[in-house]
Structure 1
Amino acid sequence: MTTVLIYLVVMVLVAAVVFLIASVVFGRGEELPALPPGASPTRLPSSGITADDLRGVRFQLVVRGYKMSEVDWVLRRVAGELDDLRAEVADLRERLEPADESS
């Protein structure tokens, strides 16, 4: 029984060493190096967000999904743009209504 246990421990150790060597030689399999801690791949223009900008948004992955602070930041930015656009549309409609009533 002791011999089997020794063989099992040796096999686990050999597998661990082979895994570590393969990890060092082949890396993580990514095309780009991993981002430094705290860095974000999330990018949006300072104003005038377009649908293509939103389609191109990428969030940093963390253990349980996407990084919540990045998702919240994007949602705040898009909400601000939407509010600005709706205010501009309302302003333009107000300008057009008096002109429509006089004709």
Structure 2
Amino acid sequence: MIILGAVVAVLVLGAGLAWLVARADVPGVPPAVTTESAMPLPAGPVGPDQVRDLRFDQAVRGYRMAQVDEALRRLGHELAARDAEIARLRDGAGVPRPAEARHEHADLLGGMDG
């Protein structure tokens, strides 16, 4: 029983020291490498290639929600505008204003209109 207690104490002490060293600024040790390598959507129209190549950073609990939310918001607006343009071309109607295209498909955006 004493041996088990000693092993647990050594493990706890080692974990604590490792945590302290990881948190401390140690001379000669470079800062931790960041995992942020996201490629945001480019400005302008979004095409299939940009959607296919879209990558998000992974965080402890999955993807970074702010990046995913922004990409989905952007894609929602792009798709709504394209749907409005397709409808305009099919109906032979006049050119809709951009605000009309966004509001026409607001139900599809599910409150993502920011």
| TM-score normalised by structure 2 residue count | 0.52
Supply the distance in 2 between the matched residues of 1:57 and 1:88 (Cα, whole angstroms).
Answer: 24
Post-superposition shift, 1:51? 1.4
Structure 1 CA distance for aligned equivalents of residues 83 and 66 of structure 2 = 26
Counterpart of 1:47 in 2: which secondary structure? coil
- String of CA shifts for 1:52-72, please: whole Å, max 9, x gaps: 211111112112111111111
Greater fraction of residues in helix? 1
- Give the partner amino acid of 1:47: G
The equivalences for 1:16-31 within 5 A come to none
- The match for 1:94 is 91
Structure 2 equivalent of residue 100 of structure 1: none
> Matched residues in 1 for 2:80 and 2:86: separation?
10
What is aligned with 1:75?
A: 72
Q: Secondary structure at the match of 2:34?
A: coil
CA distance in 2, matches of 1:6, 1:90: 74
TM-score of the pair, normalised by structure 1: 0.57
RMSD between aligned residues: 3.5
Q: Distance in 2 between matches of 1:75 and 1:69?
A: 10
Query: In structure 2, what is the Cα distance between the partners aligned to 1:6 and 1:93?
Result: 78
Shift of 1:85: 0.5
- 1:52 corresponds to which of 39, 49, 54: 49
The one-letter code of the counterpart of 2:82 is L
